[in-house]
């Protein structure tokens, strides 16, 4: 398995608009991408402009397919301006 961890800093005042877009992206990934096994979206009231993702894919190739999926590109086009900063970390092997 291949894990992806993403932390977003959302522009102030944009979380309410951003969250439905992210949840739809997660839903579309899970339902439409064979290689996507988990897509968790998490927030914490102590950090109102931060959003954390944990994604689990079959392998790095499945993650590359995710990044090229039409729903991912559409999400980026709409949500991109709402993102102040983004950190992506990948883990090539997840022990089970």
* Residue 44 bridge partners (DSSP): 47
Distance CA 87, CA 60 (A): 17
User: pTM for this structure?
Assistant: 0.90
In order of 7, 15, 96, the CA distances from 48 in angstroms are: 13, 8, 33
Kindly give the confidence (pLDDT) of every residue in the chain, 96 residues in length, as a single tens digit, with 9 standing for 90 and above: 999 999 999 999 999 999 999 999 999 999 999 999 999 999 999 999 999 999 999 999 999 999 999 999 999 999 999 999 999 999 997 676
**Domains in the chain, start-ordered, CATH in brackets?**
2-91 (3.30.70.100)
């Amino acid at each position: 398995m291949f894990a992806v961890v993403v932390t977003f800093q959302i522009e102030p005042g944009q979380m309410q608009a951003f969250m439905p877009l992210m949840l739809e992206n997660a839903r579309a990934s899970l339902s439409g991408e064979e290689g996507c096994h988990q897509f968790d979206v998490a927030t914490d009231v102590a950090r109102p402009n931060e959003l954390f993702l944990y994604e689990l894919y079959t392998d790095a190739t499945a993650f590359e397919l995710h990044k090229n999926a039409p729903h991912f590109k559409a999400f980026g086009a709409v949500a991109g301006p709402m993102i102040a900063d983004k950190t992506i970390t990948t883990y090539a092997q997840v022990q089970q």
